[in-house]
Amino acid sequence: MSHDAFGRDADGAFQPSRRRFVQGLAAGGAITALGLWPRPGWALKSPAQSTVLAGTDFDLVIGETPVNFTGRTRTAITVNGSIPAPLLRWREGTTVNLRVSNALPPGSIHGHTTSIHWHGILLPANMDGVPGLSFSGIHRGETYHYRFDVRQGGTYWYHSHSGLQEQAGLYGPLIIDPIEPEPFSYDRDYVVMLSDWTDLDPAALFSRLKKKSDYDNYSKRTVGDFLRDMRRDGFAAALADRKAWGEMRMTPTDLSDVNAHTYTYLMNGTTSLGNWTGLFRSGEKVRLRFINGSAMTYFDVRIPGLKMTVVAADGQYVHPVTVDEFRIAVAETFDVIVEPSGQDAYTIFAQDMGRTGYVSGTLAVREGLRAPVPALDPRPLLTMDDMGHGGHGGHGGHGAAAGKGMEGGCGANMGMKGMEGGCGANMGHGAQQAADPHAGHGGGMQSHPASEAGNPFVDMQTMAPVPKLDDPGIGLRDNGRKVLTYAMLRSTFDDPDGREPGREIELHLTGHMERFVWGFNGQKFSEVEPLRLNYGERMRIVLVNDTMMTHPIHLHGLWSDLEDEQGNFLVRKHTVDMPPGSRRSYRVRADALGSWAYHCHLLYHMEAGMMREVRVDE
């Protein structure tokens, strides 16, 4: 049977070659005894790399390909037969044409329509790739022609916005060469794309989360933990802490919904066993473009023995800041420069936020080398301060909880939901907060939208949220390493708009852990009208995280200009991370007409309702 350059047969169906299937096995480490190691990797300056497609015209075929990352063969959804999808290389100032064909077979568990969303890219709404908002999706056998001007440079990525296809493998890196010279130099250039893979059908995983959301939380507190806490803090404090968590029906070990008990973590489409390797010569400057293309996983990244200088965030230049480690939220990108010398190999180590697993790769002077892989850090525990109910002794303090259905009276910091009787004006079940979003709520309580009151899909509220811009995050504080924070990130340019926001919208991130229902202001996507912006206006979005989970919030089509505590422009991003108990604000210029998605980038949170439509009208 004859095939074209993209593996399609005469009928246009995608036929993965045996060679491609074997590559998938090798990448997963299942048959490494045959010596089928990955090639040196995605050096962007090496045009011979088969995974790099450059220029202005692209043919991308979405189909299914057998892969094996765990010892079991499964069917992935792929672009041109690869996971990740091919690295696309564009140039700022050009017009790109991307013909995306749907070659999913009949009866596919991944559905019969598909799509590609160009994450963080400025483009017309009908090119954004969100079925139901910007177009109707790409049906089986059809080809959709994406065509738009490239108006930015930097490190980005692309992924499906149809169902749960992103989890099944439809994601890839996107590099845009800028017109102007970059403000830093380097000798080599690699993409390091992190992702999570499950052998489960993503729909089955979502169903499991709905039925038993804590399935992967193997680390619930024990009697032994209570005795240790009692010896450290005293019986009364230990008992109060257990009581507070019990009343919330939550656990301080619940950092992520899905972790390494279900996931296999990948680096550039290979497991740790596959040992993705980027080559260097001693003394060279190496640019590493980290992309978190996961469905649900936050990674904490470091390269033992090397400092990393962060030079870009979400594709936009920042003033260089040198760190030992950084946390990368789902959908974020960070460009770093390292200067390896003095040893032949260094480990790139990315552990998940809950410390249940990791993926590693290597920087080396030649293929086949490895450096020691560090042990996972200790499992972190959430505190009441992390939930925004603290104020009692810093991050280790035990403040009062925000519980559901509690018996008894109301303490000053109690943010309880569904309580009977009155508990004073500070319960915050009133109208929208109208206070200064940067005041930090020094002595006052956080107000909450009326739609959260008595809401069966809201299991907690934060009562004293703060920006937390200088907080490295749960599990990264005081670990002996210099860890990146948002406060360290400063764009190399001033506020690109310059105007003060003309109005403000405050949105609360809400959810119910046990029922696995998520939303904004206690409302699911299916229940609300679009947020309406006026074309050309400058406005402020204030987010308050009323949940105990961390949420990466992504606004399509428009930049999110994050502010510091005083309301000054800090850094331009396309994805704003929201830790538990945080309140953060950013400015948006409504300069793109149309309907845009606005959602949590944790795939199953979006699927469970944490999404809104933003409509920019003239």
Domain 381-618 falls under CATH 2.60.40.420: yes
Q: Examine domains 18-184 and 381-618 and report if their fold is the same.
A: yes
The token pair at 382 is 């959430």
Tokens 């606004």 sit on residue: 555
Q: Is the peptide bond before 47 cis (omega within 30 degrees of 0)?
A: no
Confidence of residue 445 (pLDDT cuts 50, 70, 90): confident
Task: Label residue 372 exposed, middle or buried (CB < 10 Å: 0-12, 13-18, 19+).
Answer: exposed
More reliable by pLDDT, 256 or 164:
164
Q: d(Cα 131, Cα 555) in Å, to the nearest integer?
A: 16
Q: What is the mean pLDDT of residues 580-592?
A: 97
pLDDT of residue 382: 78
Sheet with 325-328, strands from edge to edge, namely: 277-279, 358-364, 345-352, 299-302, 325-328
% residues pLDDT > 90 (the chain)? 72
pLDDT tens string 304-338 = 999 999 999 999 999 999 999 999 999 999 999 99
pLDDT of residue 403: 35
The token pair at 188 is 């080599």
pLDDT of residue 173: 97
Q: How many helices (H) and strands (E) does the chain have?
A: 5, 33
For the chain, give the mean pLDDT: 83
Q: What is the mean pLDDT of residues 78-90?
A: 96
Is the model's pLDDT at 426 over the cut of 60?
no
Q: Residues 6 or more apart from 422 whose CB is under 8 A from it?
A: none
Give the SS3 label for residue 598.
strand
Task: Label residue 47 exposed, middle or buried (CB < 10 Å: 0-12, 13-18, 19+).
Answer: exposed
% residues pLDDT > 70 (the chain)? 77
Is the model's pLDDT at 53 over the cut of 50?
yes
pLDDT tens string 383-405 = 777 766 654 333 332 222 333 33
Indicate the range of 305-309, 411-415, 472-476, 563-567 predicted with least confidence. Answer: 411-415
pLDDT of residue 406: 29
Q: d(Cα 243, Cα 237) in Å, to the nearest integer?
A: 10
Is the model's pLDDT at 370 over the cut of 60?
yes
What is this structure's pTM?
A: 0.84
pLDDT of residue 256: 86
Structural contact between residues 301 and 378, judged by C-beta atoms closer than 8 angstroms: no
Q: Residues 6 or more apart from 167 whose CB is under 8 A from it?
A: 196, 198, 202, 205, 295, 603
pLDDT of residue 251: 57
Q: What is the mean pLDDT of residues 51-69?
A: 95
Structural contact between residues 213 and 206, judged by C-beta atoms closer than 8 angstroms: no
More reliable by pLDDT, 234 or 567:
567
Identity of residue 29: G
Annotate 502-549 with DSSP letters as a single string.
SEEEEEEEEEETTTTEEEETTB-GGG-PPEEEETT-EEEEEEEE-SSS
Confidence of residue 520 (pLDDT cuts 50, 70, 90): very high
Q: d(Cα 449, Cα 539) in Å, to the nearest integer?
A: 19
Q: Residues 6 or more apart from 453 whose CB is under 8 A from it?
A: 429
Q: Residues 6 or more apart from 215 whose CB is under 8 A from it?
A: 208, 209, 262
Structural contact between residues 351 and 300, judged by C-beta atoms closer than 8 angstroms: yes
* Max Cα-Cα span within the chain: 76
Is the model's pLDDT at 411 over the cut of 70?
no
Is the model's pLDDT at 208 over the cut of 60?
yes
CATH H superfamily, domain 18-184 = Cupredoxins -  blue copper proteins (2.60.40.420)
Domain boundaries, the chain: 18-184, 381-618
pLDDT of residue 212: 87
